[in-house]
Structure 1
Amino acid sequence: MPGAVVRDQHGEALRLSELWSQGPALLVLVPAAFSTHCTAELGALARDVDRFDDAGVQLAALSCDPVPALRAWAEERRYPFPLLSDFWPHGAVSRALGAFDEELGTSRRLSLLVRDGRVLWSLRNPVDRPRSPAAHEEVLDVLRAPG
């Protein structure tokens, strides 16, 4: 999975390992661009982006939507972090993470805090239950914890 290459909302190729090459990264998988819960989740992260930046955490979201949909969503909502497309091969990264919903053809709700290629924290929620802002802020506590 770290060697996987995805495209950001501008169509630029990004190797997932580049996300955490400069420090910890929070990768947030969402089912669908423009959906109510996904928009709320990413909106909360966007509002708190300074807290993550101050802690040196790179934020990124990933969905199985195509690049043009992610570009439109990012522009409309002005998300200050990359939106990554797992569109083709469809859901390959989500599958590798055990977070692909075969029935819906989307990513499941999964958040991963990764540092040096190691998962330090994760959170899974059902597709119909968004993650709370407080849940994502737990990663800041994880990074502050000794050891």
Structure 2
Amino acid sequence: MTSPDTSLAPGTGLPVGSVAPDFTLPDENKRPVTLSEIDGPVLLVFFPFAWSGVCTTEFCELRDDLSVFTDAGVQVFGVSTDTAQSLKPWVADQGYTFPFLSDFWPHGAVAQQYNVFFDKAGMALRGTFLLDADRVIRFAEVNMPGERRDQSQWKQAVAALLG
């Protein structure tokens, strides 16, 4: 893993046009997922915690509109500092059909690489990154804890990516 870019203001996320850092994280079933091994565009959706109200609402909306992304060939991943053991029952309970990655240990290392780690609370901010097939960031936003994201912007970014 590379160290985070210290020239960026904390919590602002990586800028559009930068290359997304590679990583390997376990999914909710403890299977390793490596970003560089995924073909096609990727939507990384960092979030603070499973089982919280805003996170659940956001991911239920994403679940219900998932075809907008999958029909465009975009693979979606939720990423949090929760353990895989806590993500697994939440994923099952909510009926999510896309992977959730655990950035638990080293704690928040990937969130730090993407400059969306909130160190005072030990959690990821609501960072969203759309990566093209070459792993260049084409859309990026960071929302603070409790601040719900507007997923229509994600859909517009996917449409723009497809041209």
Instruction: Give yes or no for TM over 0.5.
Output: yes
Q: Deviations over 1:2-60 (max 9, x none)?
A: 43210000000111223xx3211100000000101111111111001111111111011
TM-score, normalising length: structure 2: 0.83
Confirm whether residue 12 of structure 1 aligns to residue 51 of structure 2: no
Q: CA deviation at 1:99?
A: 0.5
- Bigger strand fraction: 1
Confirm whether residue 107 of structure 1 aligns to residue 117 of structure 2: no
Confirm whether residue 45 of structure 1 aligns to residue 59 of structure 2: no
- Bigger helix fraction: 1
Secondary structure of the residue that 1:6 maps to in structure 2? strand
Higher RCO, Cα 8 Å, sep 6+: 2
Secondary structure of the residue that 1:122 maps to in structure 2? strand
Secondary structure of the residue that 1:10 maps to in structure 2? coil
Secondary structure of the residue that 2:45 maps to in structure 1? strand
TM-score, normalising length: structure 1: 0.92
Number of aligned residue pairs: 143
Confirm whether residue 131 of structure 1 aligns to residue 149 of structure 2: yes
- Of 74, 90, 99, the residue aligned with 2:91 is 74
The runs of 5 or more residues in structure 1 that have no matched partner are none
Q: Which runs of 4+ in 1 moved over 3 A?
A: none
Aligned residues: percent identity?
35
Q: How does 1:16-35 map to 2 (within 5 A)?
A: 16-18=35-37, 21-35=38-52
Using the alignment, how far apart are the partners of 2:22 and 2:147 within structure 1?
30
